[in-house]
Amino acid sequence: MLRRLMFRFLLGLLLGQVAAPAMAYSVVGGRIVDERNRPVQLRGLNWFGFETDTLAPHGLWARNWKEQLDQMQALGVNALRLPLCPEAIHGGKTGGIDAKLNPDLIGKNSAELLDLFVAELDRRGIYVLLDHHRPDCSGQSELWYTDQYPESAWIKDLTTLAERYRDRRHVIGIDLKNEPRGAATWGTGNGKTDWNSAAERAAREVIKLAPQWLIFVEGIEKNPQCSSEGPHFWGENLEPFACTPLDIPPDRLVLAPHTYGPDVFPQPYFDDPSFPANMPAIWERHFGQFLRQGYAVILGEFGGRYGEGGDPKDRVWQDMLVQYLIERRVNSAFYWSWNPNSKDTGGLLQDDWKTVWPDKLALLKRLWSGSGAPPARLARQASPATVGAAKPPSAVGARTRDVGRDYTQMTMSDWGAGYCVDVEVRNPGSTALRWSLELPLEGRISQSWNTAVAALGAKARFTGVDWNRQLAAGGKTHFGYCALRDAPKLQESDGATTSSAGIESQLIVDSSWAQGYCARVLVRNRSERPANWRVTVPVSGQIQTLWRARYTLSGGQLTAEGEDYNRVLQPGESTDFGFCAAR
């Protein structure tokens, strides 16, 4: 009997019918790790369709599904977020599938199709994030429930997914609700609208069944308390988390905001004179502040047409976002989308469902590799002549050339004290080259993206970075930078406490408008011993929000000191904090 059982077990392994033990994922120090404590990077895309009336991933009318997965993996994609609706979970009739291209999918209902997709993704080692996208397959909702779809049905669907896929090793977890917004609140005590409380209730039930899963929780849109008044994208606003943390085990929790640029909605801050230099402070306020506190923050959605139609500012916005994430050592995210038929964003694929947009792919590869020159403000200990200096070319046969007039420069914004520029570099020749470009510079570069920078007095030399250094014949790339004309000088702090001796600070205004402004303060320990920092800077008006510091305000002077996680600076170490004020 024992021999027969052993034979069946071994045969099952050979045939792939015996599932390996489920893999356990957790969050440690703001990073996802597996059961062996190995970092897990999510080079992710959204492939939508299961949440629509086809109840199947889109594009199956144009190509074979496994062929598309082959292409994704060849590009470096290793994770998919799959949006779902209730009917897809329970087995509705699928559509939009070409029988000749996908004969193995014909006759399967949506639940069976989902089973097949998840099994294949798991077999390939592609991470799967299940996303409860909408309670009705024909439309989204502000809250996690509707009159026709109560909270109990929502939680039941979440637990159904947990039971069904908890043994799949590469299913990392579940995104509880897509883009809470409108009536959704956080921490107000209203049980009917407080998304944080609903997320806690759902997480408890999911974790009971799939304790190894990660719980992805999105932000909301607006909130009457603990939230700035500025507009937020749906699911982007995590500010209230600072006042009302989630009662979800920290090693299970991933904060998963969505953020978009001008192609999706014309937020007023895209028209700020300092755009895109104003964006890092906004992202920091909306969700980035929690990275420094040890939470995992992974964008569940971001994207746009990236200059291929739409608003030309969107390219600059996406470049700045990727630079922001790289600065904070975030290289996991889910791009929206694989599909080209997303009306306002397009996709990684072009309309033929086969050709990849090369610029979008280069952007994603830059994020995944964490490459690119960091802004000058993050490298102040280097001398101006060496900040961001490019390494000599190493590829055999490549030419290095100053492209001269083969570029187009466009000023994206100018607010008097500074400006931001986008530059398109082209190779009109018939052979590949490694490009560099020397441009006149007014002021001091405060940040840059997609380029390495060497300051040369009244000029700066810009050189390609790893992913865009070499231009093919007829190829092009973009880079950008912002510069400050009147950058404030570093000043010694007032030394109000002994522990602050040797601390210096620099106040930088990132954005300014008639009613207020946002700024950040760079702090560095110039002494030869560890120090608890404390600085005082002038403030015009009343503080509306402040992050990564504790503060008091008196007589137009803001005195700030570090939080628990950034209070002590080692010799030569730097940190920063930011605030927005109303005049």
Catalytic positions, please? Answer: 179, 301
Asked if omega into 141 is within 30° of 0 (cis), the reply is no
3-class secondary structure per residue, 173-230:
EEECCCCCCCCCECCCCCCCCEHHHHHHHHHHHHHHHCCCCEEEECCECCCCCCCCCC
What is the Cα–Cα distance from 176 to 199, expressed in whole angstroms?
7
Asked if omega into 276 is within 30° of 0 (cis), the reply is yes
Residue 65, both tokens: 């599904």
Say what angle helices 279-286 and 313-327 make with each other, to 10 degrees.
Answer: 60
The kind and range of the H/E element at 160 are helix 151-165
Contact 573, 539 (CB under 8 A): no
Each residue of 473-494: b (16+ CB within 10 Å) or e? Answer: eebbbbbbbbbbeebeeeeebe
Contact 73, 124 (CB under 8 A): yes
334 SS3 class: strand
3-class secondary structure per residue, 285-318:
HHCHHHCCCCCEECECECCCCCCCCCCCHHHHHH
Q: What is the dihedral of CA 194, 200, 206, 212, to 10 degrees?
A: 140
3-class secondary structure per residue, 225-281:
CCCCCCCCCCCCECHHHHCCCCCCCCCCEEECCECCCCCCCCCHHHHCCCCCCCHHH
Residue 465, both tokens: 């970075």
Q: What's the distance, CA 413 to chain centroid?
A: 24
- Count CA within 13 A, CB hemisphere, residue 209: 20
**In the block, which residue shows the tokens 């977020």?**
81
Pick from 204, 208, 209, 202: nearest CA to 180: 202
